[in-house]
Amino acid sequence: MNNVKYHIIGTSPPRVDAYDKVTGRAVFGPDVTLPGMLHGRLLGSPYAHAVIRSIDTSRAEALTGVFAVMTSKDMPSTQSSDAEIRYEAMNVIAGGKALFEGHVVAAVAAVSPQVAEDAVRLIKVDYEPLKPVLDLREAMREDAPIIHSELRRESTGPDDGEPGNVVMHFKYGIGDVEKGFKDAEVIVEREYSTTNVHQGYIEPQVATARWGPEDTLTLWCSTQGQFIMRQRISKLLELPLSKIRVIPTEVGGAFGGKYETHVDPIAAILARKAGRPVKVVMTQAEVFRSSGPAPSCIIHMKMGTTRKGRITAVKAELYYEAGAFPGSPLMGGARCMLAAYDIPNGQIEGFEVLVNKSHVTAYRAPGVPQSTFAAEQAIDELSEKLGMDPIEFRLLNVAREGTKTVAGIVHSSNIGAAEVLQAARSQSHYKTPLVGANGGRGIAVGYWGNNGGQSSCLISVNQDGGVSLVTGSVDLTGTRTSLAMQAAEVLGLSIDLVRTSVGDTDSIGYTEQSGGSRTTFATGRAVILAAEDVVAQMCGRAALIWKVPVDDVTYDGMAFTTKTDASKRLTFADVAARLSTTGGPVTGKGSIDARGWGPSVACQVVDVEVDHETGKVKVLRYTAVQNVGKAVHPVLVESQMQGAVAQGMGWALWEGYSFNGEGRLLNPNRLDYKQPTFLDVPSIDTVFVEIAGPNHPFGVRGVGEAGFTPTLAALANAVSRAVGKRIYNLPMSPDRVLQAMKVI
């Protein structure tokens, strides 16, 4: 356990961005306003699959107040020979075919949003509607409509060279699966499915573009990574990186949904054509239709065990939608779904399938809540058939240090799975009997591998003893605070002396996107390096003041002293006040490609009550347990765990895209798309298990995503035990619950 005592780490100071956000001073993407700025609007396809015969923009261009109109002809990358670039460009704006409802086919920039909307309605598009493919099973048929004729069908057999919608296929495996099933005494074989869900961020996709001298572009946008955005804009606009500056605004929610590029290149092209800045803000309906939900999936699971509870074999087939273009979180779902268990014989097979829907996007632990929903239900059903306590069954099969998973991951350190299960078992929630005849208790375990990667940091010392900290990590969850705390810990300062900000692409070194639960770990390590650089330089300045060798100076976080004369003491502020006379400014630098991060494991316990007349599920009590490494800021960690549960509750019980047979989204708004409110979510108890993560001085692990992975399964297990029937499809809406009970 991580029991080291710190003076800042482990406390919960106010968030450094709190004042600006609660007073409305924080600048979000839609708040950006520039002199002479125009407003952009989008025209989306009414068809999910259609050939675009022609686009007539003449009437829109003639409308007073319109400065620019664009189509795919203005984005040459839609014809790129590089398939990855071409598909990314085509996802932004349709070329020869519209591939999902809402697929942007044209855009307008005008003096006001109203004029731009009027102009959009004047654009005439001649479509040839085609049959859409909307269902995973249908899309895999040999006679299914082909979305991209240039893509070859991938299959388990020989490649026949024919076009197809299956664009990725792989297998992971360990041991002898057939022998494992022969050794099994109890076998469960089931099929599970989930639907598309939205990430739930409130701020829409938005970007503001302005061109400057020598064909330079400045872009203000709501993004999870300004450097990734710069790279994508460079490819899509065929513009050198050195000519692009991306300034990240505050982000009004993302959860993985703001990795990709949507309106950003459109704003840039419109601004170039108009010769004035242009802001493009998606409507809520456009966000739902075309910005990318989490994928729907079908998962076939077969799992066997001995009567004593030892899992002998597992076989899983995962079918994930990619939307209209390749690229889905299928591989993450496959790698993480059974990673918390020691299973001697197993096979996981994955298929990525194209359908006529918007390209899927990441959503908190991308792909893993779906696969965990299937795996943990199978595990729970086996424990039920064996008459075993569900936690004891999981403990019997839990992965430990050195375990090799079905997907081939070898746990090189203690992932904390056993400790998390033991902590869940010891909670009063688990020990308290259920109340009421219609109640059910569910247990589930989830795993997320976390991430590291490249990050940069600068720390400048001010002459009053404070410091200014700049990183390249967009703050989605309060990470400016967790990063400032790590700097303060190394520098021996109070948190109020660390002023922190997020730099744009011209003011800080390359930093990967905020996602994968990487920021506090990876950017934290860059911060620590920069802080250590500051300490080393400040020791040099103290040595100059005392006229002693620098090797004779030490810093204990409270004062600089010398090894030979303990009476010599200078505080950090004392040395800072004399920077101008000891060599000038001190700036510490930290850049890293952080590797060797530690995964996180979560276990959740939930009690529900099901109304047997209406099928309505009420969540009564929830406990979330997680290996958090070291809780740098316990309140922020707790809020991450609670937020994950709340989002998972929505996915499990209410949320889901609904399409008609033509591929039209029927609920592209927050009235018809059902999300939980504070009235639906009970108080969520959180329990920290602190097993220090590897390769970080404070033992940090990512915490934002692991807590999302078991929620769907935990609720499904609870509801199934409450009604006595398994529910294999999400969401567990009242009609599905009643169908499972055979009431309707």
What DSSP letter does each residue of 83-139 carry, written as one string? HHHHHHHHHHS-SSEE-STT-EEEEEEESSHHHHHHHHHH-EEEEEE------HHHH
pLDDT class of 160 with cuts at 50, 70, 90: low
Flag whether pLDDT at 156 surpasses 50. Answer: no
Please state the domain count of the chain.
3
Flag whether pLDDT at 45 surpasses 90. Answer: yes
Alpha-carbon gap, residue 387 to 77, rounded angstroms: 59
What is the sign of the dihedral through the CA atoms of 370, 372, 375 and 379?
Answer: negative
Same domain? For 126 and 212 the reply is yes
> Which of 256, 255, 260, 243 has its CA nearest to residue 207?
260
Of 594, 615, 646, the domain-final residue: 594
Alpha-carbon gap, residue 429 to 304, rounded angstroms: 30
Backbone region of residue 371 per phi and psi (left: phi > 0; alpha: psi in -120 to 50; beta: other values): alpha
pLDDT tens digits, 130-155: 999 999 999 999 899 999 998 876 65
Q: Is 47 within 8 Å of 129 (Cβ atoms)?
A: yes
275 CB neighbour count, 10 Å cutoff: 11
**Distance set, CA 246 to CA 242, 447, 744 (Å):** 11, 34, 55
pLDDT tens digits, 488-507: 999 999 999 999 999 999 99
**Average pLDDT rounded to a whole number, residues 378-397:** 98
> Which of 699, 707, 315 has its CA nearest to residue 524?
699
Which pLDDT does position 4 carry in this prediction? 77
In a domain, residue 85? The reply is yes
**Average pLDDT rounded to a whole number, residues 725-735:** 97
Take residue 475 and report the two structure tokens written for it. 């703050």
Alpha-carbon gap, residue 229 to 399, rounded angstroms: 38
Take residue 547 and report the two structure tokens written for it. 């006229």
**Average pLDDT rounded to a whole number, residues 613-626:** 97
Same domain? For 85 and 217 the reply is yes
Same domain? For 216 and 271 the reply is yes
Same domain? For 459 and 514 the reply is yes
Which pLDDT does position 435 carry in this prediction? 82
Alpha-carbon gap, residue 215 to 211, rounded angstroms: 6
484 CB neighbour count, 10 Å cutoff: 26
% of the chain beyond a pLDDT of 70: 98
Same domain? For 36 and 122 the reply is yes
Reduced to 3 states (helix: H, G, I; strand: E, B; else coil), residue 335 is helix
Alpha-carbon gap, residue 541 to 376, rounded angstroms: 58
Same domain? For 567 and 617 the reply is no
Same domain? For 613 and 509 the reply is no
CA 146 to chain centre: 30
Alpha-carbon gap, residue 391 to 714, rounded angstroms: 12
> Which of 406, 226, 239 has its CA nearest to residue 316?
406
pLDDT tens digits, 307-325: 999 999 999 999 999 999 9
In a domain, residue 263? The reply is yes
Same domain? For 462 and 388 the reply is no
Helices 524-546, 479-491: axis angle to 10 degrees equals 30
In a domain, residue 173? The reply is no
Of 560, 594, 628, the domain-final residue: 594
Helices 83-92, 264-274: axis angle to 10 degrees equals 80
Match 């739930």 to its residue by tokens. 200
pLDDT class of 566 with cuts at 50, 70, 90: confident
Q: Any idea what the CATH number is for the domain that residue 457 is in?
A: 3.30.365.10
Same domain? For 216 and 94 the reply is yes
Flag whether pLDDT at 2 surpasses 80. Answer: no
**Distance set, CA 217 to CA 214, 265, 269, 506 (Å):** 9, 11, 10, 12
> Which of 359, 279, 242, 334 has its CA nearest to residue 116?
279
Of 594, 614, 645, the domain-final residue: 594
In a domain, residue 7? The reply is no
**Average pLDDT rounded to a whole number, residues 33-54:** 98
Flag whether pLDDT at 743 surpasses 70. Answer: no
**Average pLDDT rounded to a whole number, residues 418-438:** 95
Match 């999981």 to its residue by tokens. 394
Predicted structure pTM score: 0.96
Flag whether pLDDT at 206 surpasses 50. Answer: yes
In a domain, residue 6? The reply is no
pLDDT tens digits, 60-101: 999 999 999 999 999 999 999 999 999 999 999 999 999 999
**Quick check: bond before 731 cis, omega within 30?**
yes
What are the φ/ψ torsions at residue 494 (nearest 5 degrees)?
A: -75, 155
Take residue 31 and report the two structure tokens written for it. 């708040």
**Average pLDDT rounded to a whole number, residues 237-260:** 97
Domain with 363, as residue range(s), is 297-450+598-740
What is the pLDDT of the chain when averaged over all its residues? Answer: 96
In a domain, residue 135? The reply is no
Alpha-carbon gap, residue 731 to 228, rounded angstroms: 33
Q: Give the DSSP H or E segment for 509.
A: none
**Average pLDDT rounded to a whole number, residues 441-460:** 98
Match 């239709």 to its residue by tokens. 289
Same domain? For 39 and 105 the reply is yes
| Residue 8 vs residue 2, higher pLDDT | 8
> Which of 249, 219, 248 has its CA nearest to residue 234?
219
Show Cβ contacts of residue 621 under 8 Å, excluding neighbours closer than 6 positions.
Answer: 429, 606, 607, 682, 685
In a domain, residue 313? The reply is yes
Show Cβ contacts of residue 703 under 8 Å, excluding neighbours closer than 6 positions.
Answer: 517, 520, 600, 626, 628, 629, 631, 637, 640, 641
**Distance set, CA 436 to CA 342, 405, 433, 742 (Å):** 36, 39, 10, 21
pLDDT tens digits, 472-491: 999 999 999 999 999 999 99
Same domain? For 535 and 473 the reply is yes
Q: Is 167 within 8 Å of 224 (Cβ atoms)?
A: no
Take residue 205 and report the two structure tokens written for it. 């996709």
387 CB neighbour count, 10 Å cutoff: 9
Take residue 449 and report the two structure tokens written for it. 């591998």
Reduced to 3 states (helix: H, G, I; strand: E, B; else coil), residue 58 is helix
SS3 track for 11-41: CCCCCCCHHHHHHCCCCEHHHCCCCCCEEEE
Alpha-carbon gap, residue 83 to 70, rounded angstroms: 22
In a domain, residue 273? The reply is yes
**Distance set, CA 71 to CA 40, 160, 357, 405 (Å):** 13, 36, 20, 48
Same domain? For 377 and 465 the reply is no
Q: Any idea what the CATH number is for the domain that residue 226 is in?
A: 3.90.1170.50
Which pLDDT does position 161 carry in this prediction? 66
